[in-house]
Structure 1
Amino acid sequence: MSHVFTVLLLVIFAVIVTTSQFVGSPIHCWYPAEFKPWYEKYAEQYCWISNTYFVSWAEILPVDVSVRTDREITYYQWVPLILAFQALLFKVPNIVWKMLQSGAGINLNKVVDMADLTQTGSFEGREKTIRHLALYLDKWLDTERSYNYGRLVQVRDKVTRFCCFICSKRSGTYLTALFLITKVLFLANVIGQFFLLNAFMATNYNMFGFEIIDYLKKDAPWKESPRFPRVTYCDFQIRQLQNIQRWTIQCVLPVNLFNEKIFIFLWFWFFFIAALACFNFFKWFYIFALKRNRVSYVKKYLTISSQLQNSFDKKLCHRFANNYLRDDGVFVLRVITKNSTDIVTVDLLMCLWKIFLDKQNKGRRSNIDSEGTINPHEKQPLTAAEEKEREAMAS
């Protein structure tokens, strides 16, 4: 909604305003009778590139030049540029995400594409792709672990356990923290758009939409807005030899007919996008901040595939989610689920679960061997009693 639809919408509005400015005349002025045709063309060009000012019909035209200068409208020439700049700002968070996500050591787009391809391939090809994807994720999870458990590493792990905004590959929180930061950028951008338009139009744009709603409730005929006036005034001077003549002419700005409707619509659109961005951020923050959400997500899919048979398996599932997959691993699975189907996630998690169990069994056997206990998989030398028994049986 932010980096695709809003960008497209702003670009379309910029094209409309640009067309209205350069196709035909963006300003028309009413001149005194003594003005010659070349005076008229000069006056229109001057009033367009400089600024006009607004005075309502109920007011008297100010005599003081400084008062007229304070009322100048300075934005309408730059509306296409500000709309294009707003479109760029809405795209920036997505650009940040695209540029920095590769720092996690995994190509997330290719992983999602590979998972999506499993839905259209043959059964044998699907099983092979799922297996390769599971092995790839396992290698990635092992590569990004910490193998030096010093004091600093322990402190870092404790901090990342309570703060989900710290990007740490070794702690398994790089992608999740970057994702939350991107969500914050989307939210900050759309809120900042209101203040940007405040500064650009030199008006209180924050309350513009509420004023429109209040005005519509009164069921009154639509009146000209002081923010987007159609009839304005322009002062300019003409030098004739040593004489300087000052003229005030009345002009009409047809472009403000488009600007008013565009910025009314943008206020409500930005308000809608801000509400969505706020909801989306707090939803993902709740998912990442509570560690039990990570375990429950994994347990749901392992239960579907009937991998959790007893209480020991359920306890092992906590170690699988917290120590093996960690935040980034579960996040990748969430992304795969949203871009493919739950069936792919079930099969992929089942393969990862089996890889995890194999590693647990190997680790248990290596621990037994290191403690001096007999390993049943290795051939042990016979004792003296066993040697005599063997000879008696042979005879």
Structure 2
Amino acid sequence: MLGTFSSVKQYLKFDISRVVIDNIVFKLHYRWTFVLLLVATLLITSRQYIGEHIQCISDNVVAPVINTFCFFTPTFTVVRHLNNTALDSGSIFQPGIGPYNREEDVIKRHAYYQWVPFVLFRQALCFYLPHALWKKLEGGRVKALVYGLRMVGLTKYLKNDSMRIGKLNIPSMAEVEDRVINIRRTMIDRMRLNQSWGAHLVFAELLNLLNLCLQIYWTNRFLGREFLTLGVKVLRERWVDKMDALDVVFPKVTKCTFYKYGSAGSLQEHDTLCVMALNIMNEKIYTILWFWYSFLLVVTVLGLLWRLFTLIFYHNVTFTKCALYWAKPGKMDESDLKSIIEKCNFSNWMFLFFLRTNLSEFLFQKVIYHLASEFPNDPIHDNDINDYRARERELPSGSTGKYPLLGGLDTVDAPLLHHRGAGPVLATPKSPTDGATLPI
């Protein structure tokens, strides 16, 4: 049994180092629903759990022939025999099975069982498509920055030398100094250039809702318009009546008519009974799917309401602090956070949200700290140290540039913001053994 489902175990792995670019509602669509539908497909196509999908009884007809014929052509039940009264009186032994008049009686044909595995697999792909589209539109931007910042965070445990552990390369403090500048500048460039990033995420989340509604609609059509009320009827009738909605939609015994020519050339009609072992699995799969789709629909709508709240209140500092704390608990500097979100649009805010989801408290505080230097509250004291540092690297050897003492600045841990209430200051040594501050 474990070997049967080994093909889907890769989708159930939980990797704590994986970069998160969506929320739990999104995962319910492309991971949990996708896996649920794949498992259902494997169960339907595996004969080891239910044996032959159909077994028919008929006189003077070879069993494999009648089984194959009745599986490929629709079987049927008689509508007037789908009632509990006849079952209670003993007039019929199975719902929908009994004598019928070809000219007068209405019959209910069942042909869906031939297509169940194909429909389930197609639905699994449909639930994965919005995620694949979002990954394409997102372009790996969060992953590129998060991986660089994670390596920087490990550097605080090293001194002067870098370290390599397998494929993991932890840079030294000297390497980090240049890397932080590049990462910070890259982050700012991405936030300014990718203004449609948040719109793409909202589009993918709306696509999840649209896809879910379409799958519910097509499943209802596929099951003869019986799916929408299936779960309610099962809860109401399952343990009360002998015949419930599952017996009507997924009959266990059906009728099949087979024709063949006799030895004298006359046409012979064979009325057969077929045991539908496949419907034992079908009824359970679609009952579970009804409850799962109902739950998923509610959660998806709530997720979109949350996205609407973020779109309306993302400029509010209190709301942002609560949202970022929900993404991952940790302390944040409110003044730094305020200076950033006042300059951010919705795409920038969502970008910060997912950075907070993927980074530790230590690293995210540094991100907020450095980003605040790019978006100061007071434009008169705009901190452009990072720009000058990048320019001075391009100056000829021996040139000091505008900030001759900038070479002593620790760009990882030194303050880049203006001092609280005293204007911006730059930490720099007066002598090799002492320290002082130089006003900017």
Q: TM-score, normalised by structure 2?
A: 0.64
2:100 maps to: 62
1:262 maps to: 285
The 3 A distance-change label for structure 1 pair 307 and 45 is closer
2-structure distance, mates of 1:283, 1:340: 22
Aligned equivalent of 2:148, options 114, 119, 138: 114
Alignment of 1:169-184 (within 5 A): 169=194, 172=195, 174-184=196-206
Write out per-residue CA displacement over residues 32-71 of structure 1, whole angstroms, 9 at most, x where no aligned residue: 3xx15xx332111100111100234376533226956x51
Higher normalized helix content (fraction of residues)? 1
Alignment of 1:12-51 (within 5 A): 12-20=39-47, 24-32=51-59, 35-36=60-61, 39-51=62-74
1-structure distance, mates of 2:316, 2:360: 19
Write out per-residue CA displacement over residues 264-322 of structure 1, whole angstroms, 9 at most, x where no aligned residue: 11111111111111111111121013343478527998x966573xxxx89xx46x424
1:273 maps to: 296
Higher normalized strand content (fraction of residues)? 2
2-structure distance, mates of 1:300, 1:21: 49
Residue 115 of structure 2 corresponds to residue 78 of structure 1? yes
Percentage identity across paired residues of the two chains:
19
2-structure distance, mates of 1:345, 1:120: 13
Residue 187 of structure 2 corresponds to residue 137 of structure 1? yes
2-structure distance, mates of 1:194, 1:332: 33
Residue 46 of structure 2 corresponds to residue 3 of structure 1? no
The 3 A distance-change label for structure 1 pair 287 and 83 is same
Residue 138 of structure 2 corresponds to residue 101 of structure 1? yes
TM-superposed CA distance for 1:361, in Å, is 4.3
Aligned equivalent of 1:336, options 348, 355, 371: 355
Residue 363 of structure 2 corresponds to residue 326 of structure 1? no
1:231 maps to: 253
2-structure distance, mates of 1:211, 1:78: 24
Contact 2:373–2:382 (Cα < 8 Å) also in 1: no
1-structure distance, mates of 2:309, 2:323: 18
Write out per-residue CA displacement over residues 63-104 of structure 1, whole angstroms, 9 at most, x where no aligned residue: 226956x511010011111110110111011011112223xx
Contact 1:13–1:262 (Cα < 8 Å) also in 2: yes
Moved over 6 A (4+): 298-301, 362-365
Aligned to 2:203, the other structure's residue is in SS state helix
The number of residues matched between the two structures is: 320
Contact 1:112–1:335 (Cα < 8 Å) also in 2: no
TM-superposed CA distance for 1:341, in Å, is 2.9
TM-superposed CA distance for 1:222, in Å, is 7.4
2:9 maps to: none
- Paired AA for residue 32 in structure 2: F
Of 338-347 and 180-189, the range deviating more from structure 2 = 338-347
1:352 maps to: 371
Write out per-residue CA displacement over residues 340-361 of structure 1, whole angstroms, 9 at most, x where no aligned residue: 3343222101101113349944
- Paired AA for residue 176 in structure 1: G
The 3 A distance-change label for structure 1 pair 305 and 189 is closer
Contact 1:180–1:285 (Cα < 8 Å) also in 2: no
Residue 214 of structure 2 corresponds to residue 187 of structure 1? no
The 3 A distance-change label for structure 1 pair 121 and 71 is farther
TM-superposed CA distance for 1:258, in Å, is 0.8
Aligned to 2:228, the other structure's residue is in SS state helix
2-structure distance, mates of 1:122, 1:22: 56
2-structure distance, mates of 1:213, 1:360: 65
2-structure distance, mates of 1:263, 1:82: 12
Of 176-185 and 107-116, the range deviating more from structure 2 = 107-116
1:164 maps to: none
2-structure distance, mates of 1:364, 1:123: 29
User: Which entry has the higher C-alpha Rg, 1 or 2?
Assistant: 1
The higher-RCO structure (CA 8 Å, 6+ apart) is: 1
Residue 218 of structure 2 corresponds to residue 196 of structure 1? yes
Contact 2:260–2:269 (Cα < 8 Å) also in 1: yes
1-structure distance, mates of 2:294, 2:379: 51
1:288 maps to: 311
Unaligned runs of 5+ in 2: 1-27, 82-91, 159-170, 325-329, 385-401, 403-440
Of 356-365 and 251-260, the range deviating more from structure 2 = 356-365
Contact 2:184–2:370 (Cα < 8 Å) also in 1: yes
- Paired AA for residue 302 in structure 2: F
1:90 maps to: 127
TM-superposed CA distance for 1:236, in Å, is 1.9
Q: TM-score, normalised by structure 1?
A: 0.71
- Paired AA for residue 270 in structure 2: W
2-structure distance, mates of 1:294, 1:288: 13
The 3 A distance-change label for structure 1 pair 21 and 83 is farther
1-structure distance, mates of 2:103, 2:48: 28
TM-superposed CA distance for 1:199, in Å, is 1.1
**How large is the RMSD of aligned CA atoms in angstroms?**
3.4
Aligned to 1:226, the other structure's residue is in SS state helix
2:76 maps to: 53
Contact 2:252–2:280 (Cα < 8 Å) also in 1: yes
- Paired AA for residue 213 in structure 2: I
1-structure distance, mates of 2:147, 2:232: 45
2-structure distance, mates of 1:261, 1:96: 32
Aligned to 1:61, the other structure's residue is in SS state coil
The 3 A distance-change label for structure 1 pair 357 and 298 is farther
Unaligned runs of 5+ in 1: 145-168, 366-376, 378-395
2:234 maps to: 212
Contact 2:50–2:277 (Cα < 8 Å) also in 1: no
- Paired AA for residue 113 in structure 2: Y
2-structure distance, mates of 1:255, 1:24: 9
